[in-house]
Structure 1
């Protein structure tokens, strides 16, 4: 006779979670008081130099991320930097119209080059020690750094010159201007050899391949272009960035191109065919400069967020799930459980693959989205979500295989911020609660209001339909729980608690409701005639969410103290308790033992439990 099957061992484990820090990040260095516009490696690869809109240069120790020295003297922002091959000297360009030379060992300014009549934007140091500069005065200048004399002046652009470079053989220079042209110059006599029109957009950055055969440009039209320098022919156009290009760098072996854009994303692509091999969101602000170490293993980025970052090029290939850049305000699984939708204080609405955690799409909302609720598939066959925002709007967003369908469809507008949403089990109605104490019920079929439920005397924070959709529970920040009959739009107070009710969950059979409080306690009540069945501690922070398992035998709760508890129902015994070290802000459930959590740091994670 075989032994009876043992009961399953309770567990709580992570299926996937977002990361706040990319695995490729080695250091993030802060110290500038303005946007960082330029950064370079020193030849030994152990130090870096950055220049900022604050007018200062900072020398960094890359092993520790600490600032070693600040170099000051410019009277306006620093826009470009180059370092001598021996690492002893650096040269900086500034919007004060000067170029300064610095002794890096002690930070002394040992040279000032004057001649430009407007801000200097770009520098390039030739192998023979000559320095090329480009400026807002529509000219380029070539300098002898020993004497400080201007060797040549290049005139031809009809607007400011934004970028420049010298070919590896030292014979030619290339420049990009806001007149939407590229120009190729003879360094020997200053004549313009070729003008290449750029019809696509303003060129913000350029780079040459090590053999000098190809010119790479990045424009504000989000495209990269590859040109034959000898003929000016356009060889390739590469897309892939979601915003305008700001920075380029070519690997020393000429096989890869790095690009950075206004959304803070850095891409590494093959120069042979333009295929992107890796990309990452490096900064929350435009990337202004890129630099590769001599061995090609590490990358420096500078950005308008006032920071410099050091990255492992190899680890850029590792997957990185980036969370929101502010607290997660709302979470919901799609009706089929295949997708997870999150919204955050950063204004983003995001669509995730619930199984693997891949970010499928994101969109920026006009107002901060505060809550989300999954909708049944619409007449168009698309899945959807209802979003309530701080401006009082209810909007439906649908998605297909390629992501969100833009724009959203406005369902209605309420007085006050929408703090909570619930969808009836049959998908016919939506309930929305606001900080003006009202609860509004909408007919999703007609798009019209069905009821305005008045009775609360404080902001309503939580809503839950009972099975069948004929009754609705609502709870407010003063601890009042009300039960509404939606056939008559009448309600009554069924319980009161000490402190705000943050969250509600109705057991699938409709016989119990769990209530999560600001105090960290969880209560269990019977339905439809509420009676207290249990009151449980277990959290030291406000309860961010409570959910029942599909069979109603488990109750999960997550809290602001970073803990998740799994309890037996109705006994209330904690069978699993786990600490995650983050303050949770939301908890929602899907079928088959899966829950999703959002936290105050912007993280999203999916857990499995038993």
Structure 2
């Protein structure tokens, strides 16, 4: 089995903190997610990682280069299309805002109470010192909050916590001194140039908007501070203008403060986000209210407007919300929200199209694995969701929660159609659904029993007793005749749930069992224990056949308060989730550390180790601690600095004493880097991990690597194309499969005439059947040629049916991939037919109505 899985996407978390941006074409939104940046168009997450959580991002005017700055001021210059890091720089201080000049030649960055302007490094050539400091601008008495460039890139205006704004020129201008804009009574959030650069607007946190224009004398002429020897006064009219307040406006939103604001010069729209979750649009300079709407229960942390001024993007950090609003039609373009607290569990649907997640906030969310969007949220649980499982058909989802209920959801009508409860209130921590989808079982934390219900009737069928500690894991065998349970009482039990005997002999493991999984063929069980071992149990013999020692593999990462090294710290040396690959050849395991490990089952060796995050804002990602960060009061990162905040609402502490989980109120805390659940996709091409960062998806991406199947000297792209041009489609297809270059296979595949498909499929050698079927399964997901793909699938299954049946075990992942694509076809065609039926019904009803009126 291949283990070259690479990071593909980050779902489950759409926004954390920092500012959101639109791309220059206005069709995509860039959102900081922890120490990564997600692009919401086709929904992808760039592969690079900052050292810590991202504080702000800036995009070049051409949309090719992204500047990503973390909380410590360390920045990366990233090529957006490729997702690769071009250059790195440390600004030495925390950065509040950064902005590219409109011509793309300079980058302005806040630096405490100063502003630094750097020349933009080249994205094409490698340089020894790519960042060159152009100038450093001083004058503010407190931290600079924002920077706004003029359209000509000659000037920029800054705002500060000292309640002023200042106007600077990029290059020295004779006789010019930086202009100060005062008069506000609170922090100035932003300052903006009008489209003609004749007007400047400043917005303060207390809800005041000042309009600054040129002062006028009695003759109604603009007053300018132009030196007598100055040339080019018209060119630098902004610099020589004597600015004065012409109008003062107020938002009059009682009890709220302005948190963020932006301005669109083309339409003169001022967009403001308030601490109450309300945003508003005002047309300047008349200050005419255009639109006001409450879109969140918490304050709006960031706002952006696309270049056309039609779409607005909002980010709410506390709720993790990202919204894109079209204000003219008053409709949502995008509305996504992740789990409010930690993500506890995940499950792939049987066809691999959907991923269900359960969180500490009591919500169950279902995500589309291809697009990465959440399309339904079930909020019925009143406590943390511990486990979710799909029924084998994929249309029913089950969830178990600490609120003492197990719920079943219909994914066709999107409703909770059944709720299962126990005779006495208990907390459920594990869940299993039999392959038929008719029986659901749940294990409890406090009563140590396993409850069985009928899905059809909702009645309690049986209660299995025997464990003397919480039941940490449950799993049905693929045939459905046996139920395996793992418990903290250091035992694994096998139950014949549909037989007459309800007793089971315990299989003792080395320590408290934390998770278990059945191999796809049902002949083996893998159980994870608290001492870091993976025990493999032979189902037929009822005893442990082999053990993998994983303590050293998963250990790593030192917490800020650890007195011992990572190698001697026992707290992170166990797995809490384990799953088999689709062919059963490997085992994937994750736990309370930053690593996820793949083991080869036959050899018992580690194949590969994945680090889920390199984010230093999380606890447990560093191997070595810096002794300079240790003080008499403990580590600097753990010291509560809430009382030092400048704003009253930031100094208040509303936390519950002693609360450590599910309490993300305002205080200094660091979340642990850990994996709560890992699962393999049914196709075997990807796996997902529910981690502190969100839902991480890793997949096999062969398009970026050269991996030929059977390479010879005469096998070249030119020879393949010449063979294809001569009409030898079978030979060309075999050559393309041997070279294993996806673009070539795609070209040859689509060049085959539909009438020759059946003949070519029949003559294809058996050694290439799996590769071609896997390619067809991938092609089905992205191609609009439905009939063409269906002809290939039908021809391949008909011609090689016996060959595939004899190898159904190793071909299971290919079959599931095909099923996933064909189910997508069925859904699309059914949806299109329904829409056409509704349209035809409407047209016929209108015709009947018109005929009745005429009569």
TM-score by length of 1: 0.59
TM superposition shift of 1:447: 1.1
1:205–1:245 contact (8 Å) kept in structure 2 = no
Unaligned runs of 5+ in 1: 1-7, 32-38, 50-58, 72-77, 101-118, 131-167, 181-200, 282-322
Query: Retained in 1: the 8 A contact 2:208–2:250?
Result: no
Q: 2:438 aligned to 418, 428, 434, which one?
A: 428
Aligned CA RMSD, in angstroms, stands at 4.9
- Rate the CA distance shift 1:120–1:271 in 2: closer, same or farther, 3 A: closer
Q: CA deviation at 1:471?
A: 2.2
Task: Show the 5 A alignment for 1:68-147.
Answer: 81-85=163-167, 86=178, 93=185, 121-127=206-212
Say which of 1, 9, 12 aligns to 1:16: 9
Relative distance call for 1:476 and 1:90 in structure 2 (3 A) is: farther
CA contact (8 A) 1:350 1:362 kept: yes
Q: Does 1:464 find its partner at 2:479? A: no
- 1:524 matched residue in structure 2: 536
Shift of 1:243: 5.5
- Aligned with 1:338 (options 353, 369, 386): 353
Asked whether the 8 Å contact 2:205–2:257 carries over to 1, the reply is no
* CA distance in 1: counterparts of 2:205 and 2:370, whole angstroms: 51
Of 388, 393, 397, 2:409 maps to: 397
Give the Cα separation in 2 of the matches to 1:530 and 1:561.
Answer: 31
Question: By how many angstroms is 1:441 displaced?
Answer: 0.8
Query: Partners of 1:279 and 1:600 in 2: how far apart?
Result: 22
- 5+ residue gaps, structure 2: 12-32, 38-55, 58-67, 74-95, 102-106, 119-139, 144-159, 168-177, 189-203, 216-242, 555-572, 614-673, 701-812, 814-855
Question: Equivalent residues in 2 for 1:296-311 (5 A)?
Answer: none
Match of 1:416 in 2: 426
Where relative contact order (Cα < 8 A, 6+ residues apart) is larger, the structure is 1
- C-alpha spacing 1:425/1:588, structure 2 compared with 1 (3 Å): same
Paired residue for 2:389? 373
Q: Does 1:476 align with 2:487?
A: yes
Distance 2:696 2:280 in 1: 35
Deviates more, 1:265-274 or 1:584-593: 265-274
Structure 1 residue 580 corresponds to structure 2 residue 662: no
Query: Offset at 1:531?
Result: 2.3
- 1:384/1:174 Cα in 2 relative to 1: closer, same or farther (>3 Å)? farther
Instruction: Map 1:256-275 onto structure 2 (within 5 A).
Output: 260=314, 263=319, 265=321
1:495 is the counterpart of 2:510: no
Alpha-carbon spacing, 1:351–1:126, altered in 2? closer, same or farther (3 Å): same
Cα distance in 2, alignment partners of residues 456 and 60 from structure 1: 65
Task: Return closer, same or farther for 1:474/1:264 CA change in 2, 3 Å cut-off.
Answer: closer
Choose from 576, 579, 584 the match for 1:544.
576
Distance 1:391 1:337, change over 3 A: same
Residue 175 of structure 1 pairs with residue 250 of structure 2: yes
Shift of 1:254: 8.9
Q: Which moved more, 1:367-376 or 1:456-465?
A: 367-376
Please state how far the C-alpha of 1:172 moved relative to its aligned partner.
Answer: 4.5
Structure 1 residues 261 and 565: CA distance shift in structure 2, 3 A: closer
Cα distance 1:515–1:179, how it changes in 2: closer, same or farther (>3 A)?
closer
- 1:47 aligned residue: 110
Q: 1:124 to 1:228 in 2, by over 3 A?
A: closer
Structure with greater strand percent: 1
The 8 Å contact of residues 11 and 576 in structure 1, kept in 2 or not, is answered as: no
Q: Is the 8 A contact 2:523 2:540 kept in 1?
A: yes
Q: Match of 1:54?
A: none
Structure 1 residue 603: Cα displacement = 2.9
CA positional deviation for 1:82: 4.1
Name the CA distance, whole Å, in 2 between partners of 1:13 and 1:248: 31
Question: How many residues are paired up?
Answer: 448
Distance 2:287 2:604 in 1: 78
CA contact (8 A) 2:210 2:245 kept: no
Structure 1 position 268, deviation (Å): 7.4
Listed one character per residue, the Cα deviations across residues 296-320 of structure 1 (whole Å, up to 9, x for unaligned) are: xxxxxxxxxxxxxxxxxxxxxxxxx
What does residue 704 of structure 2 align with? Answer: none
Q: Which moved more, 1:323-332 or 1:531-540?
A: 323-332
CA 1:604–1:408: 2 relative to 1, 3 Å: farther
Counterparts of 1:151-170 in structure 2, within 5 Å, are none
CA distance in 2 between counterparts of 1:420 and 1:79 reads: 51
Alignment of 1:227-376 (within 5 A): 241=295, 246=300, 255=309, 260=314, 263=319, 265=321, 326-362=341-377, 366-376=382-392
Partner of 2:800: none
Indicate which of 441, 450, 463 corresponds to 1:452.
463
1:555 equivalent in structure 2: 587
Q: Are the equivalent residues in 2 in contact too, given 1:343–1:370 (CA < 8 A)?
A: yes
SS in 1 for 2:609: strand
What are the superposed Cα offsets for residues 345-378 of structure 1, whole Å, 9 maximum, x if unpaired? 354433222245444455655321111111355x
